[in-house]
Amino acid sequence: MRRTIWLGLMAPAGTPKPVIDKLNAAVNAAVKRPDIVKLWTEQGAVPMSMTPEEFDKYPARRYCEMGRGRQEIRRQAAIRSRNKVPFSMPSVRFRLNGVETDVDADPDRSLLDILRGPLGMTGPHFGCGANECGACNVIVGDHAVAACDTPLWSVADKDITTIEGLGSAEKPHPLQRAFIAEQALQCGYCVSGILMSAAALLKRNPDPTGEDVKAALDRNLCRCGSHNRMVRAVLRAAAEMAAR
Ligand code: FES
Ligand code: FES
């Protein structure tokens, strides 16, 4: 997997150009420092340097590589409007809890908005709305992601699992049984997101250590302080699943 780290500065609107130039020069000088380049190279990083124009194009290219890019959607919208084709929202298709699903909506809307709105999935909860609390977590592929911070366009052709697809009252998932057995919740608001993080972990690593569980749940907040019980519950579920 290739990850990209952007280094840059955000200046408030109206910042005078000489100040921006000075800040950019400082960043550029820092990233060329031999000790920093050596450190990154040791970690396998490949430094890239871009002009502002190239930088503008790079994320667009990556979006397109990731699926139905927003640039492509905008291009199609522009063609439609030029040709006076009546505008309709582009359709984004994905599998939701194993069911092929088409959504006609603004591709920039958040996945959480779409799940809780038109698709009626109330399991993913709205907490912070800023990828900080994990209450909205769903599984995309093998990983838990914050649906509040995931644009609809980015999940085209992906597999999405929400808590509704994990288990039911009649047929609970081992994680759900373990959470009840360990009494690993109080108000429960965070729990659907935590269960999705835990389920993604067990999908990738069926035999996790306590440290693995803590790392997987690290970005999920629980204001009721049920963390220790939750870690015990995830380990319990893993043991139950392994014993089957
Ligand atoms: S609501 Fe999505 S991370 Fe908090
Ligand atoms: S159980 Fe209440 S926020 Fe986690």
Provide the domain limits for residue 193: 91-243
Nearest-atom index, ligand 2, CA of 191: 4
Query: What integer is the mean pLDDT of 191-197?
Result: 97
Ligand 1 centroid to residue 146 C-alpha, Å: 6
Tell me if 215 is assigned to some domain.
yes
Tell me if 125 is assigned to some domain.
yes
User: Is the beta carbon of 224 within 6 A of some atom in ligand 2?
Assistant: yes
Residues with CB under 6 A from ligand 1: 126-129, 131-136, 146, 148
Tell me if 114 is assigned to some domain.
yes
- Residue 168 Ramachandran class (φ > 0 left, ψ -120 to 50 alpha, else beta): beta
pLDDT tens figures, 75-100? 666 666 666 655 556 689 999 999 99
Tell me if 233 is assigned to some domain.
yes
Tell me if 2 is assigned to some domain.
no
Tell me if 171 is assigned to some domain.
yes
- The CATH code of the domain that includes 155 is 3.10.20.30
Please count the other Cβ atoms lying within 10 Å of the Cβ belonging to residue 32: 11
Distance of alpha carbon 233 from alpha carbon 125, whole angstroms: 21
pLDDT band for position 64 (50/70/90)? very low
Would the pTM count as exceeding 0.75? no
pLDDT tens figures, 201-235? 999 999 999 999 999 999 999 999 999 999 999 99
User: Is the beta carbon of 190 within 6 A of some atom in ligand 2?
Assistant: yes
Distance of alpha carbon 103 from alpha carbon 110, whole angstroms: 12
Q: How many domains, the chain?
A: 1
Tell me if 79 is assigned to some domain.
no
Ligand 2 centroid to residue 1 C-alpha, Å: 33
- Residue 69 Ramachandran class (φ > 0 left, ψ -120 to 50 alpha, else beta): beta
Distance of alpha carbon 78 from alpha carbon 50, whole angstroms: 28
Please state whether beta strands 143-146 and 91-96 pair in parallel, antiparallel, or not at all (unpaired).
unpaired
Tell me if 124 is assigned to some domain.
yes
Rounded to 10 deg, the angle between the 227-243 and 191-204 helix axes is 40
Distance of alpha carbon 156 from alpha carbon 163, whole angstroms: 20
- Residue to mutate (ligand 1; options 131, 189, 222; most atoms within 8 A of CB): 131
Assigned token pair, 35: 């000790």
User: Is the beta carbon of 121 within 6 A of some atom in ligand 2?
Assistant: no
